[in-house]
A = this chain, B = another copy of it.
Amino acid sequence: MTTKVLPLLEPEAAAPCCPPLSERPLTAEEAERTAVMFKALGDPVRLRLFSLVASHAGGEACVCDISDVGVSQPTVSHHLKKLREAGLLSSERRGTWVYYRVEPSVLAAMGRLLTRAAGA
């Protein structure tokens, strides 16, 4: 019997960023950092998967919970990984599956960025 070392899945460094968009222009550095998150949600399949995880019972989901999005399981895995890399999801391996969970602080920061700007 061989022992398989499972990789640790660290969430990427992605700090919630920036004042409301209506307050002052973003710096180039802030825009770089924040655009990554918007870009991750800028794909219809990824956005749908994100909403599946966000609305799933217990606030987390694994690939095993996801069907009927019209793409293969490897594609689902690929997109979930992209969302994690953008800092929008965190992940934890339990047994066979990697469970994904929404990063509330990052989302809240993105929401504030937009909501407060709308009041300008």
Which positions in A face B, CB cutoff 8 Å? 21-28, 31-32, 34-36, 38-48, 50-52, 54-55, 59, 69-70, 102, 104-105, 107-108, 110-120
Contacts and interface: CB of A to CB of B under 8 A. Distances in A.
Indicate how many identical chains form the complex: 2
A120 B44 contact: no
B31 A35 contact: no
Contact of A51 (B26, B48, B118): B26
Contact of A104 (B39, B44, B118): B118
Q: Is the interface of A mostly helix, strand, loop or mixed?
A: helix
Nearest to A108: B118
Contacts of A117: 51, 54, 102, 107, 111
A44 to B, nearest CB: 4
A88 to B, nearest CB: 10
Contacts of A45: 31
Closest A-B pairs by Cβ, 6 of them = A39-B42, A111-B115, A111-B114, A38-B41, A108-B118, A107-B118
